[in-house]
Amino acid sequence: MIDDRSLARLRDADASLISDCMMRLGLHGWMDHVRPIQPGPRRMAGRARTLLFGPKRGDGAWPKSMYRTLSSLSPGDALVFATGGTPQNLMGDNMALFGQMRGLAAMITDSTVRDSAGMLELSMPVYARGPAVRLPMMMEPVALDVPVVCGGAQVRPGDALIGNEDGIVVIPEGRVGDILFELEDAEVCENALKQAIVKGATLDDIEAILKRKKAPRAR
């Protein structure tokens, strides 16, 4: 399991630099069209817990309420609702508040959500496709803690989920250490690039920094 210290380091980092580190290592894991519902800076890092949704069958419904499902999670978890991008809203402000009270790092879905005004009062970030009033009449939970696809990204239980105002990055659990190793160098390169631009450096100098920024760090 990813330790709290590593999560704190990832939360403090810029998600765009984490993406750069993933590019260096040939990793893929970006959610499309999943953005924070609340405005302003919303950095988060959590351990992935996944909840797969599917069309209702009318037989063998999910045996728990969503609140009992949420109560089985642990502080620091980030719950992913994988829905196939349904336009039906699967979360409101009371459910999100319950997740916040459980100590969740975030709640993330590729569906829509409702109760935008209530969401603004939460300290826990909520990521979704956007707001909607359409009820979840035709969707139901199918399985907890299974590999899922959310917003085009594969997510497995235990992965690290990193979010900011731009969206969500998914780091495979077993590669967190590699990302942290690359991150220190990526931050140096990013600062060097900014300083080079501010100081009017030559294009050759700027391109040299860009080349280094894309290369894996030497061990």
What's the total number of domains in the chain?
2
Residue 15 is assigned to a structural domain of this protein? no
pLDDT bin (cut points 50, 70, 90) of residue 173 is: very high
Looking up residue 149, the CATH number of its domain turns out to be 3.50.30.40
Using the predicted structure, report yes or no on whether residue 155 has a pLDDT greater than 80: yes
Residue 22 is assigned to a structural domain of this protein? no
**Are residue 50 and residue 150 in the same domain, yes or no?**
yes
Residue 14 is assigned to a structural domain of this protein? no
Is the pTM of the predicted complex or chain greater than 0.85?
yes
Mean pLDDT of the chain: 94
Residue 4 is assigned to a structural domain of this protein? no
**Are residue 162 and residue 70 in the same domain, yes or no?**
yes
Residue 5 is assigned to a structural domain of this protein? no
**Are residue 35 and residue 114 in the same domain, yes or no?**
yes
Q: Comparing C-alpha atoms, which of 88, 105, 118, 130 is closest to residue 2?
A: 105
Residue 97 is assigned to a structural domain of this protein? yes
Residue 1 is assigned to a structural domain of this protein? no
Per-residue pLDDT of 95-132, as tens digits, reads: 999 999 999 999 999 999 999 999 999 999 999 999 99
**Are residue 42 and residue 145 in the same domain, yes or no?**
yes
What SS3 class is residue 60?
A: coil
**Are residue 162 and residue 79 in the same domain, yes or no?**
yes
User: What tokens appear for 19 in the block?
Assistant: 């993406």
**Are residue 115 and residue 141 in the same domain, yes or no?**
yes
What SS3 class is residue 139?
A: strand
Alpha-carbon gap, residue 169 to 145, rounded angstroms: 18
**Are residue 167 and residue 183 in the same domain, yes or no?**
no
- ∠ CA 152-128-52, nearest 5°, is 60
**Are residue 51 and residue 113 in the same domain, yes or no?**
yes
Range of the domain at 199: 178-214
**Are residue 111 and residue 94 in the same domain, yes or no?**
yes
Q: What is the mean pLDDT of residues 163-189?
A: 96
DSSP letter at 201 equals -
- Output the pLDDT for position 58: 86
pLDDT bin (cut points 50, 70, 90) of residue 82 is: very high
**Are residue 146 and residue 200 in the same domain, yes or no?**
no
**Are residue 80 and residue 133 in the same domain, yes or no?**
yes
**Are residue 51 and residue 84 in the same domain, yes or no?**
yes
- Output the pLDDT for position 201: 95
